[in-house]
Amino acid sequence: MRIEHIGIATESIEKSLGFWRDALGLELVHTEEVAEQKVRVAMLPLGEPRIELLEATSDDSPIAKFLQKRGAGVHHIAVRVDDIHATLERLKAQGARLIDESPRRGADDCLIAFVHPATAGGVLLELVQHEDDTE
């Protein structure tokens, strides 16, 4: 397992790029709207992991709710796993609280699942499996 990305909730991706891309010098390689999660996503590699900037596309987006409650900042940490189904089974067996009982489609065509922060010491954890890792 390794860190796949760090998700950061922003009021505006455009404004946040002023820091992450323009001031710090990271390269913006990918932007995408994930309709199912009501977010717009921008990916900036930082070594192998990436910074994932998140912007709500609707008022009932999880990111909009997060911003209302906590303001902009680190939203989740994503860990890349080889077999997301096996990892979910393992966590379930260990009594972990899961937001997603089964994987769903995330940005970049990956399979993702969120683990509840209550389980991971206040950290919202995202599991990510890349398509090219299947089979």
For residue 1 the two structure tokens come to 């397992």
| CB of 49 or CB of 93, closer to Zn ion | 49
CB of 17 or CB of 52, closer to Zn ion: 52
Q: Could you tell me where the beta strands, DSSP code E, fall in 1-135?
A: 2-9, 30-34, 39-45, 50-56, 73-80, 104-105, 111-115, 125-129
In the complex, which residue's CB is closest to Zn ion?
Answer: 7
Structure tokens at 82: 């080889």
Residues near 11 by Cβ (< 8 Å), separated by ≥ 6?
A: 55, 67, 72
Residue nearer to Zn ion on the CB measure, 78 or 111: 78
Burial class (CB in 10 A: 0-12, 13-18, 19+), 85: middle
Nearer to Zn ion, 77 or 96 (CB): 77
Shortest Å, Cβ 90 to Zn ion: 20
Q: Which residues bind Zn ion (CB under 5 A)?
A: 7, 52, 78, 126
Closest contact distance (angstroms) between CB of 93 and Zn ion is 24
Q: How far is the CB of 31 from Zn ion (least distance, A)?
A: 14
Question: Chain-centre distance of CA 99, in angstroms?
Answer: 13
CB 78 to Zn ion: min, Å: 5
